[in-house]
Chain A
Amino acid sequence: MARKSTTRRVVISTIGAWFFGFLIFFPILWMVLASFKTELEAFAIPPSFLFFHWTTENYATVQERSDYFHHALNSIIIAGGSTLIAVLIAIPAAWSMAFSPTKRTKDILLWMLSTKMMPPVGVLVPIYLIFKTFGLLDSRAGLIFILCLGNLPIVIWMLFTYFKEIPRDILEAARMDGATIGRELIYVLTPMAIPGLASTMLLNLILAWNEAFWTLNLSTSNAAPLTVFIASYSSPEGLFWAKLSAASTLAIAPIIILGWFSQKQLVRGLTFGAVK
């Protein structure tokens, strides 16, 4: 029996959706609000929600004390670079697994995923030593390399699921039409997979942007992205909530804006294949 969509039900579910949406968004809102407070108001009990002395002083201090744009540029290069390389490696890998699977394809996919189950700290020492030996510490190339490797399993998995959805007939039609494997990839498969490709890249960009473990451990200043910039505000001198909030707001702003404008792609990409 189909459920009746009465006005009451619609009202309740709308209120519920807004409530949970707000609940999830609240920490971010709180952080943004705190960034406009003075240090004293930032940890006042009881906290003031909107009626406090609004100030942009924290942003000025943060910009004075450290170079936001230097870190932001590093974040863009590292997140963007690692995403691009990961996708370039993942397209042929996912293609071959989706369209000419062997007995071992499933095992390989699971093995790749299993690497994500290992806590990264378990390999911190060997990776640190490797980076040291090759002079990759505090270099953008090194971070691009490690973030690319870290996210590659997810990228391959996502692309694999998108490619699986593409009817085999269409690729065979292209083959009958005289397309070589390379042209089949360029003219047929990739354009058809663009929605999936876009959401995979977006998700990977967000993951790489927010990645803190490797960036904090393998960079200090030259290659340091925004994660290091935020962390520098939790210092031995004590926690400065308002400044930390200002730094965090600055750090997440670009990715939130990007996510906001591409939310349709993101939702479509993440639910692709879930409903036939």
Chain B
Amino acid sequence: MGQITLQDVQKSFGPVHIIKGADLEIADGSFVVFVGPSGCGKTTLLRLIAGLEDVSGGKILIDGKNVVDTPPAKRGLSMVFQSYALYPHMSVRGNIGFGLKMAGLSKDETNRKVEAAAATLNLTPYLDRKPRELSGGQRQRVAIGRAIVREPKAFLFDEPLSNLDAALRVQMRIEVTRLQKQLGTTAVYVTHDQVEAMTMADKIVVLNGGKIEQYGSPLELYERPANLFVAGFIGSPKMNLVTGEPAKQQGATTIGVRPEHLKIERDGGGGWQGTIAVAEHLGSDTFLYVDAGPLGMLTARYIGELSLHAGDHVSLAPDPARIHRFDASGNALRN
């Protein structure tokens, strides 16, 4: 079991409020990603759950039991750090088995479990090496091995892939997701990379300035962002946000249209007129950055190749069913 509940969790460092009252329900076995810009408090929130920081207020329940006064070791959670934080003086075997040794397991039992974890992560040939003799990806695997071997109630990941190169990151992303599904253990994962969040999560928590902006499944966040912040943060390239006359026509202060929901027509068509400033041809997609005069810069995405170039005049027609409307305070207006 690994159900985690946050009730009005707060954290201040001196006069600075980092977490301003977070309420959250993380279901057993789910993969939840905390995402947000740097300084939004996502790592702090994870460290509060881990017990590496003390809460300033509120409750953290793990399987219904309040753990705010429980030391990290007794919470039954395991953590993978951004820097991997392997013990440099211990072999891979020693690193993975350290938690079991602390728990007082017998040598045989420890070895058996360490070898099983190593086999899952393809680390068996490296069991007797020191961390400094491993590559970045292998170190990352050791850190994950150390987390899974203890069979915790939940895994906590603190930006674990940010030190890897792009190709390895994609590969590890898939491996971590598969491993989590296979073990069925609750996972809380912190990242600033919204692609990681969208691809890995069952549910995403978008944080901004110490507040939870929205909590929902990736597609829910993409299709129904609760406010301007989430609308701008989720999705790549960013959603186009337009104010003024076009918004007023829709009965809103701001309207948002995703780049893939703008229909691109050559000059003379309906919709918003503009001139292409930059055209990016990726083969699979074409991205157009269009200077639309009073509406500002708009981004449009076309699936496939579109032979338009910088300087060409185009008109962009938003898909009426896919227009997001926001009020003056930035909250979404629902029909």
Name the residue on B nearest A168 (C-beta).
B85
CA separation between A31 and B73, bound complex, in Å? 60
Whether B81 and A173, one on each chain, are in contact in the complex, defined by CB atoms closer than 8 angstroms, is yes
Given A169-B81, A187-B98, A175:B72 Cβ within 8 A: yes
| B78: interface (CB < 8 Å) | yes
Does A89 count as interface, using CB distance less than 8 angstroms? no
Interface residues in A203-242 by Cβ distance below 8 A to B read none
Q: Which residues of A contact B99 (CB under 8 A)?
A: 176-178
Q: Does B77 contact A (CB under 8 A)?
A: yes
Residues on the B chain within 8 Å of A85, using CB: none
Within 8 Å by CB of B72, from A176, A191, A192, lies A176
Beta-carbon nearest neighbor of A172 in chain B:
B52
Supplied contacts A172-B81, A177-B150, 19 more A-B pairs, CB within 8 Å: A167-B85, A169-B82, A169-B85, A170-B88, A172-B72, A173-B81, A174-B87, A174-B98, A175-B72, A176-B50, A176-B52, A176-B77, A177-B102, A178-B73, A178-B74, A178-B99, A179-B73, A187-B98, A192-B87
How distant is B38 from chain A, measured CB to nearest CB, in Å? Answer: 18
Chain B interface extent, by class: 20 to 34
> Is B176 interfacial (CB 8 A cutoff)?
no
Chain B residue numbers with a CB within 8 Å of A183 are 102
* B224 CB, nearest partner CB in chain A, Å: 36
User: In the complex, what residues of A have CB within 8 A of residue B89's CB?
Assistant: 191-192, 194
Which A residues are in CB contact (< 8 Å) with B146? 173, 177
A170: contacting residue among B82, B85, B102, CB under 8 A:
B85
B83 touches A176 (CB 8 A): no
Q: Which residue of A lies closest to B158 (CB)?
A: A169
Q: A173-B81, A174-B98, A175-B52 are in contact. Are A180 and B73 (CB under 8 A)?
A: yes
CA distance A191 to B130 in the complex (A): 14
The answer to whether A169 and B103 touch across the interface, beta carbons within 8 angstroms, is no
Does A84 belong to the interface (CB within 8 Å)? no
Interface residue SS majority, chain A: helix
Q: Nearest CB to that of A173 among chain B residues?
A: B85
Check A167/B102 contact, CB under 8 A, given A175-B72, A177-B146: no
Task: Decide if B247 is an interface residue (CB 8 Å cutoff).
Answer: no
B72 engages A169 (CB within 8 Å): no
A188 within 8 Å of B by Cβ? yes
Residue numbers in B under 8 Å from A180 (CB-CB): 73
Could you mark each residue 266-277 of chain B with 1 if its beta carbon is under 8 Å from any beta carbon of chain A, else 0?
000000000000
* Size of A's binding interface in residues, CB under 8 A: 18
Q: Contact between A176 and B78 (Cβ–Cβ < 8 Å)?
A: yes
- Which B residues lie within 8 Å of A167 (CB)? 83, 85
Check A179 against B102 for contact (C-beta < 8 Å). yes
Query: Roughly how many angstroms separate A180 CA and B52 CA in the complex, as a whole number?
Result: 13
**What's the nearest-Cβ distance from chain B to residue A184, in Å?**
9
Chain A residues within an 8 Å CB radius of B150: 177-178
Provide the residues of chain A in CB contact with B103, threshold 8 Å: 178
Q: Which of B52, B83, B88, B98 touches A177 (beta carbons < 8 Å)?
A: B98
Closest 9 A/B residue pairs (Cβ) = A169-B85, A177-B99, A178-B102, A173-B85, A178-B73, A191-B89, A176-B79, A169-B81, A170-B85
Contacts of A172 in B (CB 8 A): 52, 72, 79, 81, 85
CA distance A178 to B82 in the complex (A): 19
Cα(A243)–Cα(B150), bound, Å: 68
Q: What is the CA–CA distance of A9 and B88 in the complex, to the nearest angstrom?
A: 39
Contacts of A188 in B (CB 8 A): 87
Min Cβ gap A1→B in Å is: 32
CA distance A242 to B331 in the complex (A): 94
Q: Beyond A167-B83, A169-B81, A183-B102, is A175–B73 a contact (Cβ under 8 Å)?
A: yes
CA distance A223 to B94 in the complex (A): 46
Residue from A169, A173, A194 with most neighbouring chain B CB atoms (10 Å): A173
10 examples of A-B residue contacts, CB within 8 angstroms: A169-B81, A170-B85, A170-B87, A170-B88, A173-B87, A176-B73, A177-B98, A177-B150, A179-B73, A188-B87
Question: A167 CA to B78 CA in the complex, in Å?
Answer: 18
Q: How far is the CB of B3 from chain A (nearest CB, A)?
A: 19
Complex CA–CA separation, A180 to B102 (angstroms): 9
CB contacts (< 8 Å) of B81 on chain A: these are 169, 172-173
Within 8 A of B (CB), among A44-70: none
Q: Which residue of A lies closest to B102 (CB)?
A: A178
